[in-house]
Amino acid sequence: MTNSRQLAFIALRDVHKGAYADIALDRVLQKVNLADSDRRLLTELVYGSVRRQRTLDTLIDQLAKKKSHQQPQDLRTILHLGFYQLRYQERIPPSAAVNTTVQLAKENGFSGLTGFVNGLLRQYLRKAGEAGGARGAGEAWEARGESSPLSPSSSSSLHTDPLQLPENPVERLGILHSFPDWIIQVWLEQLGLVETEQLCEWMNQSPTIDLRINPLRTSIEEVEAALQSAAILVRQIPHLPQALRLIGSAGSIQKLPGFKEGWWTVQDSSAQLVSHLLDPQPGELVIDACAAPGGKTTHIAELMADKGKIWACDRTPSRLRKLQQNSGRLNLQSIQTYTGDSRHFNQFQNTADRVLLDAPCSGLGTMHRHADARWRQTPESVRELSVLQKELLTHTSTFVKPGGVLVYATCTLHPAENEEVISAFLAGSPDWQIESQSGVELPTSAHSTPQGWFQVWPHRQDMDGFFMVRLRKTNDSE
């Protein structure tokens, strides 16, 4: 049986054994030749079930006699697929969702439990009122422009949702939107309840794909025209001169017009902002301290008109090879790679006009792209990353010439990896200061804080979450 649901079950079984969701999905996709619609359904079921794991487990906990963690793992996976379709898949009729899930149980070793599976899913539908009445209950209200079950005004809608939510706002948001409590807590402290919920909703959407056109090879108008002639809808992004956003499904990226010719590369709008803040100039020496897989490195080369030298450093040779492939496709000559840990390099001291430290981070700003990231990171992993970030910043700052610039950036939304890292660095580095936009026209609606750093909040700017700050080394630091 090679239908989308069976393939989703196989991929999810791998994920529950520890595989990354994207790798497990890719492994399955490579073995079969699916129609585009089946491929989309498979992708949606895998990423959706992983993303919504906490909500789906809570439904099992509330509706079954045995809690989700007491169910056999494969059966739990099958129930996830069933509940995910009933709750979040508008286009799948409830009867089809129930019947195909019962079939999955039958064909994967649970023939004796088909009655249980059928009964549990139908119990959900009964509690929802009309079959499908709870469809997307947590988020269907949002789609209709109504307030969600967290809002006091919507208490009358609550009886239509079989999912029972606790009063505590952290657990309530965590269960409804499927995030660990600690992430909700971090966001609540920064944003408050209303915006935290908006951010959760944004993170549960399917991600968009942004392109960055290569101005050394083409123009944004030429790429736009080529894509539109291939029936690919795109739109320009205000204030970002090289950015195009794909609208709707585009199929395989490598098959789009201009890919082989090096006209563009895939890069989210937020990531494009970072290189603009660095503002590299032709002829300069620039070091990208954590460069792979190279999106920002190649952008720096484009902004420098490919004139000057860029050292792209990374400790993972395989990821640097991807950078070299991408750089070759874009026909860029100014990039040289250097393998190793930037914390241990001494040969670059006082050599660079500009340094980019796009630090390894928890990625809490890009969780919509990485379905399982929310379950892999922990408060402990954030603390460890914060130590690494401080070490990297302290050492790579020595690469910068007096009067030069360093940009520190992360794709996370955790103060321990952002504001606290910068504050600790500045407290111990009197020869460094934050340089807000002076002299740099940053093409963004990103929120510049009074302290001078930039924070991109996805639900406000509709792009990946990012933190970035531009630091300048004073001339008298030698």
What is the C-alpha separation between 302 and 305, in angstroms, rounded?
A: 5
Closest CA to 337 of 306, 316, 357, 314: 314
Is residue 335 within 8 A of residue 299, CB to CB? The reply is no
Q: For residue 14, count CB atoms less than 10 angstroms from its CB and return exposed for 0-12, middle for 13-18, buried for 19 or more.
A: middle
Contacts 24+ apart (CB under 8 A), 192-195: 193/150, 193/169, 195/457, 195/459
Three-class secondary structure of residue 343 per DSSP: helix
Distance (Å, whole) CA 418 – CA 21:
27
- 265: β partners: 212
What angle is formed at CA 124 by the lines to CA 120 and CA 128, rounded to 5 degrees? 165
Cα dihedral value 106, 112, 116, 121, nearest 10? 0
The number of CA neighbours under 13 Å toward the Cβ of 411 is 21
Question: The tokens 């620039």 sit on which residue?
Answer: 286
DSSP one-letter string for 106-139: HHTT-GGGHHHHHHHHHHHHHHTSSTTTTTTHHH
Stated as kind and residue range, the H or E segment containing 264 is: strand 264-266
Q: Which residue of the set 200, 290, 361, 411 is catalytic?
A: 411
- Does 200 participate in catalysis according to the annotation? no
Angle, vertex CA 98, rays to CA 93 and CA 104, nearest 5: 125
Integer Cα distance of 354 and 278 in angstroms? 7
Virtual torsion, Cα 138, 139, 141, 145, nearest 10 deg: 150
> Is the Cβ–Cβ distance between 452 and 469 less than 8 Å?
yes
Do residues 309 and 285 touch, judged by C-beta distance below 8 A?
yes
Amino acid (1-letter code) at residue 408: Y
Return the ∠ at Cα 273 (arms to 297 and 442), rounded to 5°.
Answer: 125
- Tell which residue, 246, 464, 468, has the closest CA to residue 373: 464
Catalytic residues: 411
